A = this chain, B = another copy of it.
Amino acid sequence: MTRFHPVTPQVIDDLKNIVGADNISTAQAEIDLHAQDAGFHPAHPAEVVVWGITAQQVADVLKLANTHCIPVTPWGVGTGLEGNSIPLYGGILLSLERMNTIIEVYPDDFQVTVQPGIGHKDLNEKLARYGLFFPPDPGANATIGGMLANNAAGIRTVKYGASKDNVLKMQVALADGRLIHTGSRSIKQAAGYNLVQLFVGSEGTLGVITEATLKLVPVPQFMSAIIASFPTVELAIDTVVAVRGSGIDVAALEFIDVTNTKAMNEAGTDIAPYPTLLMEIHAAHEETLAADMALVRQICEETGAVSFRATANNAERKVLWNARHHAYETLQRNHPGQKIFIMDVAVPISAYPELIAFSRQTIEDYGVIGYMKGHAGDGNIHVELPFGDETTFAKVKQVNSAIVHQAIAMGGTSTGEHGVGIGKAAYMAQEHGEALDVMRDIKHLLDPNGILNPGKVLPE
C-alpha cells in the first residue's frame, strides 16, 4: 500500500510532545509484543508503539496521524482472535492499556464510567464491593475498550446481552482529532442517531473509544450449574429451545460437541462422550433456583438426556467454567507446535443442529481435525482447527470458508463475537450485500484518509 506515509523522526518527536517520552517506544521488544493478537493471523510490526494517557492525547495522536496519513491501530491487550488489533500497515500502534482507571462508580444507577484500558476482570474485582458486575465475559481479561470495539460477548450473553447491550455512553476520538461524546447516562434513549452503536463493534475503524459508561447488574445471590448430555445434537438443541421457551432466564447455555468433551475433561470436568449442554442459572432466591433447576431437569428428562448433573456448589461450578474457559489452552497443549484456527459463526438456533452436522462433515471431507463448542443459547458456534503445516493450514482455511458461507446462507452471520478483523472481511459482501456500500460510505465520511485500523472490517 502506497497511500500511507512512514513514521519519520519528526513524527516521533511530535508524538513525544503529545504523550511524553515515557509513553512511546520503537524498541524491537515492544514492537514484537504488539505485532500479533491471540489468534492465528500472522504478526505484522508497527513502526512505533504509543501509549495514550488521556483522551485528549489520543485525539491529538489521531489528528497528527491523519495530517501525515499514517495508519493508527488501537490496541487493548491483544486478546482478539481475528487480527482485529494487528498493525497490518505498520504506522502507529496506539495502546490504550495505560488508560485503565475507573473514573466513577454510580452504585444507585448500576453504572460505572471507565477508561478503555481496564480489563473486565480487573473491573469486576473492583466492583465486587458494590455487589455489582459487568456481565460480558469473553474469557480472557480483555479490556473494556477492546470488548466494546469488537462487541465481545461470551458465555453469559443469553441472559445479559453482549458488550453492545451493556454500554450507555462513550467518549470517542475521531480521525480528525475531534473528541465527541455519544449517548447519555439514561437507560432509555431516543434522542437522535444511535452513534454509540455505530462505534461499538466498528473495531477502531471509525474512531477510538476513550471513555465508556457501562450498565452493571447485581451479583446474583444464588447460582447453579448443570451438565446434561444427549444422544444427539438435535436432542440437545431441542432442550435449548425448550429451556428458553420455559421462561427460565438461563445465564449460560453452552454446547460442547462430543469432539470437545475430552479437552474439557483434561481441564477438570467429567463429561460423558456425548453432545453436552452446560448451563448456569442465576437467581435472587433459593426457591427460584430450586424451581428453575427442577424445571430444567424435567425438560432434560423429556428430551431424553443420557446424563444430568446439577450443582449449586460454588467450587464445583468454578471448575466447570474454568474448564470451559481453558478448553482452548488445553487444545493448544494437546497439539504442541501447532496453531489453532478458531472460527466463530452464529445462526438462528433452529439451524444449529444442521450447522453442527455440516461442520462435522466438512471437517471429515477435508481430513483435518476439528473440535466444536459454542454458546448454543444464542446460536453461536466455535470450531477449533489445529494446523502445523501449510498444507493443513490451506485445508483448514477451506473448511472455515465453507462453514462461514453455510452460516450466512442459513440466515446467520460470519461472526457472532470475534468480530471481522482481517479474517472475516472477505465475507462482508455475501453477508451484507448493498449495505456494505453504506458501511464504506460511513467509513469514508468519518475517516477519509483511511488511517484508522486499515485492513480491518471492510474488504479492500
Chain A interface residues (CB < 8 Å from chain B): 106, 108-111, 131, 150-151, 153, 157-158, 161-162, 164-165, 174, 178-182, 184-195, 197-198, 200-202, 206, 218, 220-221, 241, 244-249, 282-285, 287-288, 290-292, 295, 346-350, 375, 378-380, 407-408, 411-420, 424, 427-428, 431-436, 438-439, 441-443, 445-446, 457-458
Contacts and interface: CB of A to CB of B under 8 A. Distances in A.
B445 A415 contact: no
A190 B247 contact: no
Contacts of A439: 192-193, 195
A218 B244 CA distance: 8
A455 to B, nearest CB: 14
B201 A194 contact: yes
A346 B111 CA distance: 15
Contact of A412 (B157, B185, B192, B200): B185
Contact of A190 (B161, B174, B413): B413
A52 to B, nearest CB: 19
Contacts of A284: 246-249, 291-292, 295
A431 B191 contact: yes
Contacts of A202: 193-194
A179 B435 CA distance: 9
Contacts of A161: 165
A157 to B, nearest CB: 6
Nearest to A161: B165
Given A188-B375, A195-B435, A247-B282, 14 more contacts: A151-B190, A157-B187, A157-B188, A161-B165, A181-B432, A182-B435, A184-B413, A187-B379, A192-B420, A193-B206, A195-B438, A197-B198, A218-B244, A247-B284
